[in-house]
Homo-oligomer: A and B are copies of this chain.
Amino acid sequence: MQDSLRRFKAEIFQALAHPTRIAIVELLRDQGEVPVSSIHEKLALEQANVSQHLAVLRGKHIVVGRKEGNQVFYSLRDRILGKVLDLMRQFFQNHLREALDLLNDMKTEAAPAR
| Contact residues in B for A8 (Cβ distance below 8 Å) | 92, 99, 102-103, 106
Q: How far is B91's CA from A16's CA once the two chains are assembled, in angstroms?
A: 14
Structural contact, A106 and B11, CB atoms closer than 8 A? yes
Write the nearest CB–CB distance from A16 to chain B, whole angstroms.
4
A residues 1-47 touching B (CB-CB < 8 Å): 1-14, 16-19, 21-23, 26
How many of chain A's residues have a CB under 8 angstroms from any CB in B? Answer: 49
Copies in the complex: 2
Q: Which of B9, B10, B87, B106 contacts A7, CB < 8 Å?
A: B106
Structural contact, A16 and B19, CB atoms closer than 8 A? no
Structural contact, A102 and B60, CB atoms closer than 8 A? yes
**Nearest chain B residue, comparing its CB with the CB of A101:** B61
A–B Cβ pairs within 8 angstroms, 27 of them: A1-B111, A4-B103, A6-B22, A6-B23, A6-B26, A7-B19, A7-B103, A8-B92, A8-B103, A8-B106, A9-B16, A9-B19, A9-B85, A9-B89, A9-B92, A10-B16, A10-B19, A12-B88, A13-B13, A13-B14, A13-B16, A61-B99, A77-B95, A80-B90, A80-B94, A84-B84, A87-B87
